[in-house]
Amino acid sequence: MPEKTMRFLVQGGEATAGPPIGPALGPLGVNVLQIVEEINRQTKEFKGMRVPVEVTVDTETKEFKIKVGTPTTAALIVKESGIEKGSSEPGRNPVGNLSFEQVVKIARMKWPDMRAKTLKAAVKQVLGTCLSMGVTVDGKNPKEVVREVDSGAYDEMLKESEG
């Protein structure tokens, strides 16, 4: 069964049959509108964010499968903190603040896509992105929070949520 797989970056819940999806899938003879509706249904929780989507089409039966990725860590931070974009001077001019719980929530969403073995490592990656975007965590510099994570200050919270 010959399958074709295509990857797209779409606005969550707002994909259309126009470019890039329509022109790529049209020649395969599938119902493009049906695929677009399914993409929108599966990505509606990421409204306003760019989401990676993989569409696999069986060229004989015209059946399709859709696999939705998660938005970038930066996009999730923007959504959680309610900012429009990261700081132009991240070290000097913070633009937003997240609670540590929000950082853990983002880490849990991204963990399957990360090369992190533990939730603690995933949280540290999210904190690194916060640092480069100028977003503080509980009002503190993310570097300071990473040191606290390393010293075990949040171990109880990270242990509970791993199970």
Transcribe the chain into DSSP letters: --EEEEEEEEEBT---SSTTHHHHHGGGT--HHHHHHHHHHHHGGGBTSEEEEEEEEETTT--EEEEE----HHHHHHHHHT-SS--SSTTT---EEE-HHHHHHHHHHHGGGS--SSHHHHHHHHHHHHHHHTEEETTB-HHHHHHHHHTTTTHHHHHHHH-
Q: Can you give the CATH number for the domain in which 41 is found? A: 3.30.1550.10
Same domain flag for 81 and 63? no
Kindly report, residue by residue over 54-105, the tens digit of the pLDDT.
Answer: 999 999 999 999 999 989 999 999 989 999 889 999 888 999 999 999 999 9
Q: How many CB atoms lie within 10 A of CB 44?
A: 11
Confidence band, pLDDT 50/70/90 cuts, at residue 11? very high
Q: Domain of 51? A: 3-68
Confidence band, pLDDT 50/70/90 cuts, at residue 161? low
Produce one character per residue of 92-118: b if its CB has 16 or more CB atoms within 10 Å, e if not: eebbbbbebebbbbbbebbbeeeebee
Same domain flag for 63 and 129? no
Same domain flag for 94 and 135? yes
Same domain flag for 81 and 156? yes
Same domain flag for 53 and 133? no
Same domain flag for 80 and 157? yes
Out of 25, 43, 68, a domain closes at 68
Q: What pLDDT was estimated at residue 65? A: 96
Question: Does the pLDDT of residue 162 top 60, yes or no?
Answer: no
Average pLDDT over the chain reads: 92
Same domain flag for 90 and 52? no
Same domain flag for 152 and 118? yes
Give the number of domains in the chain. 2
Lowest mean pLDDT among 1-5, 9-13, 78-82, 100-104: 1-5
Q: What pLDDT was estimated at residue 160? A: 58
Same domain flag for 34 and 84? no
Same domain flag for 78 and 91? yes
Kindly report, residue by residue over 112-160, the tens digit of the pLDDT.
Answer: 889 999 999 999 999 999 999 999 999 999 999 999 999 999 998 887 5
Same domain flag for 98 and 132? yes
Structure pTM? 0.78
